[in-house]
Chain A
């Protein structure tokens, strides 16, 4: 098991463009989470899935953000019409059940110019 994998590691995009990130969780983990982290802050919850069902989405998340987890395996996070305020590290994590420790991926660092 290679842990949680995220691609790409870095993404630089122009304001207004759409971006998509991918997360491959640990295969036996049915819980998958997306967090966003800016410099000097703790990870901020965005959304999570149990298998293919998206169970919760943060109220902080605008409708420019959408996430999917088809077939309960990998997940994608799309940001439409990116803004400079979207610049952050986007972290994906998976866990075996709700109250197990999370295994985080290395993240995708997004820079919107």
Chain B
């Protein structure tokens, strides 16, 4: 079946350091979305990528969709304590439902 894996599973960084999480799919995705879940909270939609090789930025966050549409990455520049949470990628596989990745939990130390 379709699987979406994310690495690393956990990442601890000092405030101000950069952070990257990688998302890999076993099969081609029609598009991909990214969500953030704060501790004790629910997933919150961040962005959607549709085109092969697409790059989008939101302030300190940079999202990329691979050329083959099987992988994606999220890069955070100069992390802040407000970035703490779990980041999920989620993909559509020519169906109408999202399949969520395994998530990367980010901890930021002040």
A residues with a Cβ closer than 8 A to B are: 31, 33, 35, 40-45, 48, 50, 55-56, 91, 93, 98-107
When chains A and B are docked, how far (Å) is the Cα of A41 from the Cα of B102? Answer: 6
B31 interface residue per 8 A CB criterion: yes
The distance in angstroms between the C-alpha atoms of A71 and B99, with both chains bound, is 27
Known contacts: A99-B48, A104-B43. The answer to whether A42 contacts B96 by CB under 8 A is: no
Contacts of B96 in A (CB 8 A): 31, 48, 50, 55-56, 98
Which B residues are closer than 8 A to A by beta carbons? Answer: 4, 31, 33, 35, 41-45, 47-48, 50, 88, 90, 92, 95-103
Among all A-B residue pairs, the 6 with the closest Cβ atoms: A101-B45, A42-B100, A104-B42, A98-B96, A43-B100, A42-B103
Contact across chains for A107 and B42 when beta carbons are under 8 A apart: yes
Q: Is the CB of A99 within 8 A of B92?
A: yes
> How many angstroms from the CA of A98 to the CA of B95 in the assembled complex?
9
Q: Are B42 and A45 in contact (CB under 8 A)?
A: no
| Known contacts A45-B99, A56-B97; A102/B45 CB under 8 A | yes
State A104–B43 Cα separation when bound (angstroms).
Answer: 6
Which of these, A40, A48, A91, contacts B97 with CB under 8 Å? A48
Find chain A residues with CB under 8 A from B102 CB: 41-42
Shortest beta-carbon distance, B18 to chain A, in Å? Answer: 23
**Bound-complex Cα distance A49 to B100 (A):** 18
CB neighbours (8 Å) of B33 from chain A are: 101-102
Q: A99-B31, A99-B92 are in contact. Are A42 and B101 (CB under 8 A)?
A: yes
> How distant is the Cα of A51 from the Cα of B70 in the complex, in angstroms?
31
